[in-house]
Amino acid sequence: MKHKFFKDKVIIVTGASSGIGLATANLFATMEAKVVMAARSIDKLEAIKAEMPVPANVLCVKTDVTIEDDCKHLVQQTIDKFGRIDILINNAGISMRATFQELDLNVIRRLMDTNFWGTVYCTKYALPYLLESKGSVVGVISTAGHIGLPGRTGYSASKFAIRGFLNTLRVEHRYDGLHVMVFAPGFTASNIRNVALLADGSPQGMTPRNEEKMMSADKVAKRMAYGLRLRKNEMILTPMGKMTKFFNFALPKFVEWVEYKMMAKEPESPIRKK
């Protein structure tokens, strides 16, 4: 029955060439959904499509979510191919690792363009079809969308913005049947930290964290499917994320102290140890 819920549903996944996006696209393909995979690398998407259970049910669209016309094209290609949209998963995103004092402001612009504006553009053009299907729109954030992470100013700002945007969208359409879910997976084993931007905008190149101890992208995808079936407003996947959100209301200064200590312990952390 769980699998049948997604059968023949048309699902757009941005950032679908790796990490959570790829795991999500693969999962929904096995559940017999019609999956639209969006990313900048069309060659990579086509190679992934060839390995899908039913390639005919998969559409690959070259999409740079920072470009409004690309997002509009993504939605139009989906409608031309499948005639409807049931679920939009705004997953495309990039991270960063530097203090604001040392940061080139173009890094924040790039994060806002990808993480926030990419979500806004795709949601704007998909919205009429989602309202028609009484479908779902998902925004992938993180704990950094609930608390400010030191050394991640642009990342936190973009994730806070996504959460504010989608929470407001939910209220605006509370009587229209639209489901809006803000999804915070926590630290996930993926390549997002490898390509995170440093102070000058160059990619980090390697992760400062032990990826083996993190939640797998496949497990995150399963939790997302669960949240979509139950039409949840918000999901915070990790116990640490849930505790952080709770204690941030009750003991904000304590949470700030813990955050600082944790982020300062990262190898080559931009945050000075105190």
Q: What is the CATH number of the domain that holds 58?
A: 3.40.50.720
129-163 tens-digit pLDDT = 999 999 999 999 988 888 888 889 999 999 999 99
**In-domain check, residue 63:** yes
pTM of the entire structure? 0.89
228-274 tens-digit pLDDT = 999 999 999 876 777 777 766 777 787 777 777 777 777 777 877 65
Cα angle value 125/128/129 (rounded, 5°): 95
**In-domain check, residue 247:** no
pLDDT averaged over the chain?
89
What is the mean predicted confidence (pLDDT) over 60-79?
A: 98
Pick left, alpha or beta for residue 37 (phi over 0 → left; psi -120 to 50 → alpha; otherwise beta).
Answer: beta
Catalytic residue among 129, 155, 226, 260: 155
23 or 213, higher pLDDT: 23
94-128 tens-digit pLDDT = 999 999 999 999 999 999 999 999 999 999 999 99
Looking at residue 190, the DSSP 8-state letter turns out to be S
CB of 166 closer than 8 Å to CB of 137: yes
**In-domain check, residue 263:** no
Our answer to whether residue 121 is catalytic in this structure is: no
Show the domain range for 18: 2-239
Interatomic CA distance for residues 79 and 231, integer angstroms: 23
**In-domain check, residue 117:** yes
Looking at residue 268, what is its pLDDT? 74
